[in-house]
Amino acid sequence: MKALLIALSTLTPFPSSPEKWTERELKQSVAFYPLIGALIGGLLVLTARIHLAHDLKALLLLLLWVITTAAFHLDGLSDCLDGFFGGKTPEERRRIMKDPSIGAFGVTGIALTLLFKYVLLSRLLAVEENWKWFLLIPMAARWAVTFSCALFKAPQGDKGLGSQVVGLSAPLFAASTVFALAIGIALLKLPALEAYFLAAVIALMVGFFSKSRIGGLTGDGMGATVELTEVGLLFFTCLSISKGLLPF
């Protein structure tokens, strides 16, 4: 239960974190990330049922998406963009990423991410049974972080919270994956497997790029993984539907 509460407080602004926890419980919390994603997706599904014009509803969904994460992931994306492309050495890049100010790369990244999400949400709202994707996409994006935490290591000497959660054990990763896949397949069958494959590819790209730039994966990289995966899956969904590759 502590691990679940830690996961909820890590990925959302809800003050659910227990007063005391162990390093083991902190690492175990990563296995619950897909469940937290499913909860966020559930809120999106309920909001998508409100009777509004698609453009207004897309704005409302986007606002809810940001509020339920307190913009944590957007902040991580902006820090990664500023650091990865603004420094010349791994040490300098990590210093820039820890700087609370935001640079041109970070601002541009946030603006483009929100713009892409708004346009893609507007398109997805016109599709029947869109609620299945509203549930799956946040869950798959957070499973991508679970995948990253099982695969990558933190930069040497980094003491951030993100660096403390990497190193998820294989059994917990397997259990988390089974949970995420079971819900995805129940909702969408084969397209769900394609979505998880894309989520894994994006997680690998972010993880290996982060490793090449700063020596490992940090919490900022995990936030970037979530945002880029959500945009990637929204784009994949809208493109597949427009090409008639999905059954609705």
In a domain, 141, yes or no: yes
In a domain, 198, yes or no: yes
Residue 119 dihedral angles phi and psi, to the nearest 5°: -60, -45
- Percent of the chain whose pLDDT exceeds 70: 96
**What would the mean pLDDT of 219-244 be, rounded to a whole number?**
91
In a domain, 8, yes or no: no
pLDDT band at 247 (very low <50, low <70, confident <90, very high): low
In a domain, 4, yes or no: no
3-state class of 218 per DSSP? coil
Lowest-confidence region among 100-109, 159-168, 205-214: 159-168
Closest CA to 149 of 240, 9, 30: 30
Lowest-confidence region among 42-46, 98-102, 119-123, 173-177: 98-102
In a domain, 12, yes or no: no
Mean pLDDT of the chain: 91
DSSP element (H, E) containing 32: none
Q: Please state, in angstroms and rounded to a whole number, the distance separating the CA atoms of residues 123 and 127.
A: 7
The residue range of the domain holding 87 is 28-240
Q: Which pLDDT does position 59 carry in this prediction? A: 96
Could you read off the pLDDT of 197-223 as tens digits, one per residue? Answer: 999 999 999 999 999 999 999 999 999
List all residues 6 or more positions away from 64 whose beta carbon is below 8 Å from its beta carbon. Answer: 43, 44, 47
pTM of the model: 0.94
In a domain, 171, yes or no: yes
∠ CA 65-173-21, rounded to 5°: 75
In a domain, 79, yes or no: yes
pLDDT band at 248 (very low <50, low <70, confident <90, very high): low
Between 165 and 196, where is the model more confident?
196
Q: Please state, in angstroms and rounded to a whole number, the distance separating the CA atoms of residues 72 and 67.
A: 9
In a domain, 37, yes or no: yes
- What is the number of structural domains in the chain? 1
